């Protein structure tokens, strides 16, 4: 017997669904602006005479002379920007294949690798959540302490804010291991989302299309068709399977008795966001890949909007549209597309009453409006291959 229209509509505005929508959008926006802020900080350092690292627009395959000078004059001083990674075309093509191999390893050998995978995930989540907390810790420590770095020998030099954020992150991970609470797992997943959006860059629209299209095929195959081959929905099983608690495993290995590991729960790994409904009858779940991968596209268009805004002598050409269309940013257009895609995925899951590959809806609703808008504005050719390549002065004289 089907649900009434009122109950079906109420389920879409349930607290779990609303929380999923709001948190995923906030994570994408915050991660994108953290990424842009890192670029701006590196540019300021370069203006002040300090050599910058790879954390500027140079990560977007910039051919600007300013950014070339920045990349040639690197410092050996440890810097957070050294961790920034730019995905090229080859990596974009093979990333879905690598993800498929990892998924199969987790599906067939989860019992053998679950402890190692849990420990590695906990370490990564600790670093990522420390990055998420860093701005707050910098704000708290600014009045009482100068931002001098404290040396820890071969481990490097760290400010008081960095030490505080890392300590808080370690504490949260330990509490999560001991309790397995879903809220702590969500906090760690949020840190992973923000860190990946901020530190991984898409250099062009071409690479963005290759990556998101490949991941769309990957998501659709493993959700819809894996059951025909493996007699089980591989994606859902891996995403929802809890792992053994390392404390429990350690107590058994060291023969410490059952009392030590008896009360520790199995851990649901922070590869997803989960939110309970207002009635507590079910959870709404969204994989962090469904946040991070569209988030990388949002980060790219935000950097392009900022670059285009700062570019000197940027005059609309004859092929560009003027007026209201020019004032609409690519970031806002793509963010609205992400919201509509997430809403469509939620409606589809309610209609079919089964797990849906979210990227099936998120990728078209983000890429297609972006491509259309770039074509109408006359930026498609530039964004496709060399979005951060400065126009020459001679081309400006032709644009009268």
Over residues 326-380, the pLDDT tens digits come to: 677 899 999 999 999 999 998 888 888 777 899 999 999 999 999 999 998 888 9
397 is a domain residue: no
Taking only Cα atoms into account, the Rg of the chain, rounded to an integer number of angstroms, comes to 23
Q: Is residue 9 domain-resident?
A: no
Residue 103 confidence class, pLDDT cut points 50, 70, 90:
very high
Question: Furthest-apart CA pair in the chain: how many Å?
Answer: 82
Residue 374 domain-assigned (yes or no): yes
pLDDT band at 13 (very low <50, low <70, confident <90, very high): low
CB 285 within 8 A of CB 272: yes
DSSP 287: E
Q: Give me the pLDDT at residue 122, please.
A: 92
If you average pLDDT over every residue of the chain, what do you get? 80
pLDDT (0 to 100) of residue 98: 94
Question: Looking at the domain assignment, is residue 1 inside a domain?
Answer: no
The DSSP secondary structure of 214-283, one letter per residue, reads: HHHHHHHIIIIIHHHHHSS-HHHHHHH--B--HHHHHHHHTT--HHHHSSPPPB--SSEEEEE-TTSS-E
The range of the structural domain enclosing residue 182 comes to 15-388
What's the pLDDT band for 3 if we cut at 50, 70, 90? low
Contacts of 244 (CB under 8 A, 6+ apart): 114, 115, 118, 266, 267
Give me the active site residues, please.
219, 290
Tokens of 315: 């005059």
10 within domain boundaries: no
CA atoms within 13 A on the CB side of 187: 20
pTM of the model: 0.83
Q: Considering the domain boundaries, does residue 400 fall inside one?
A: no
> With bands split at pLDDT 50, 70 and 90, how would you rate the model's confidence at 146?
low
- What sections of the chain are H helices per DSSP? 5-12, 15-47, 65-72, 89-108, 110-141, 160-179, 182-199, 205-220, 226-230, 234-240, 246-253, 258-261, 289-310, 324-327, 330-352, 359-377, 380-385, 393-398
- Residues 299-311 have a mean pLDDT of 89
**Tell me, what's the pLDDT at 59?**
40
Residue 396 lies in a domain: no
Is residue 2 assigned to a domain?
Answer: no
pLDDT at 70: 38
Domain count, the chain: 1
């Amino acid at each position: 017997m089907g649900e009434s229209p009122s109950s079906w509509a109420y389920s879409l505005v349930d607290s779990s669904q609303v929380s999923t929508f709001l948190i995923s959008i906030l994570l994408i926006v915050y991660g994108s602006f953290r990424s842009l802020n890192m670029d701006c900080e590196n540019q300021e350092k370069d203006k002040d005479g300090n050599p910058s690292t790879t954390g500027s627009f140079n990560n977007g395959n910039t051919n600007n002379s300013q950014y070339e000078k920045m990349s040639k004059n690197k410092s050996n001083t440890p810097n957070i920007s050294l961790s920034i990674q730019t995905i090229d075309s080859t990596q974009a093509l093979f990333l879905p294949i690598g993800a498929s191999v990892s998924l199969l390893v987790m599906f067939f050998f989860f019992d053998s690798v679950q402890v190692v995978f849990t420990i590695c995930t906990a370490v990564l989540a600790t670093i990522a959540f420390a990055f998420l907390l860093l701005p707050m810790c910098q704000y708290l420590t600014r009045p009482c302490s100068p931002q001098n770095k404290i040396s820890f020998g071969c481990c490097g030099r760290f400010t008081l804010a960095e030490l505080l954020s890392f300590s808080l992150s370690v504490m949260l991970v330990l509490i999560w291991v001991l309790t397995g609470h879903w809220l702590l797992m969500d906090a760690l997943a949020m840190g992973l989302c923000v860190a990946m959006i901020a530190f991984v860059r898409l250099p062009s629209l071409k690479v963005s299309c290759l990556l998101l299209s490949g991941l769309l095929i990957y998501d659709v195959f493993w959700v819809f068709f894996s059951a025909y081959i493996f007699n089980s929905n591989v994606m859902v099983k891996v995403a929802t399977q809890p792992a053994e608690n390392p404390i429990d495993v350690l107590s058994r290995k060291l023969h410490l008795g059952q009392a030590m590991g008896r009360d520790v729960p199995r851990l649901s790994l922070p590869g997803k966001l989960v939110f309970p409904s207002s009635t507590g009858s079910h959870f709404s779940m969204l994989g962090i890949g469904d946040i991070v991968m569209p988030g990388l596209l949002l980060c790219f268009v935000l950097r392009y909007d900022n670059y285009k805004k700062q570019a000197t002598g940027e005059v609309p050409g004859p092929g560009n549209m003027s007026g209201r269309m020019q004032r609409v940013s690519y970031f806002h257009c793509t963010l609205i597309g992400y919201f509509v895609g997430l809403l469509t995925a939620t409606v589809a899951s309610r209609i079919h009453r089964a797990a849906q590959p979210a990227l099936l809806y998120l990728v078209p609703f983000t890429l297609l409006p972006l491509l259309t808008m770039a074509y109408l504005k006359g930026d498609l050719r530039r964004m496709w291959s060399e979005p951060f390549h400065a126009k020459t002065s001679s081309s400006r004289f032709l644009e009268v």
